[in-house]
């Protein structure tokens, strides 16, 4: 982790640096690990099946990076699931989502999961 407390040190088109390690594929950041094999069923549409763990173990907060240009769309079905589970959702272009994730992390929030689409 960097000295300023940020968990995500860098984001750019197609890459992200988390806890000092560089990733070049979409990621899910859990409190204790990073999954760099995240693949969505419908590519640029986020549906409930893309984050199946939410039903079993929902975080208090979910931060979604929708890509550099925000092209990954969140479906109404996904939004309904998040509301049903009482998850606080922050979503937007990946650069803004990184800032939000880091801010929450610096505030000491550890009940947070981040899902980041790194390209478009």
How confident is the model over 53-81, as pLDDT tens digits? 999 999 999 999 999 999 999 999 999 99
For residues 2 and 104, is the Cβ–Cβ distance under 8 A? no
Domain membership flag for residue 91 = yes
User: What is the distance between the alpha carbons of residues 34 and 36, in angstroms, rounded to a whole number?
Assistant: 6
Domain membership flag for residue 1 = no
Domain membership flag for residue 93 = yes
pLDDT of 6: 83
Return the CATH number at 72: 3.40.1230.10
- Nearest residue to 16 (alpha-carbon basis) of 70, 74, 73, 97: 97
pLDDT of 4: 65
For 80, the domain range is 8-117
pTM of the entire structure?
0.94
Whether 3 has a pLDDT exceeding 70, the answer reads no
Looking at the structure of the chain, the number of domains it has is 1
Domain membership flag for residue 19 = yes
User: What is the distance between the alpha carbons of residues 10 and 85, in angstroms, rounded to a whole number?
Assistant: 30
Report pLDDT digits (tens) over 18-44: 999 999 999 999 999 999 999 999 889
Residues 82-111 have a mean pLDDT of 97
Domain membership flag for residue 3 = no
């Amino acid at each position: 982790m960097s000295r300023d407390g940020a968990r995500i040190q860098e984001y750019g088109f197609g890459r992200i640096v988390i806890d000092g390690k560089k990733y070049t594929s979409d990621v899910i950041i859990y409190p204790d690990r990073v999954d760099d094999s995240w693949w969505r069923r419908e590519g640029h549409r986020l549906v409930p099946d893309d984050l199946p763990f939410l039903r079993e173990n929902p975080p208090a907060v979910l931060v979604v990076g929708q890509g550099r240009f925000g092209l990954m769309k969140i479906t109404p079905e996904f939004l309904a699931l998040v509301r049903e589970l009482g998850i606080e959702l922050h979503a937007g272009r990946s650069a803004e989502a990184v800032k939000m994730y880091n801010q929450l992390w610096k505030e000491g929030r550890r009940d947070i999961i981040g899902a980041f689409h790194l390209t478009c």
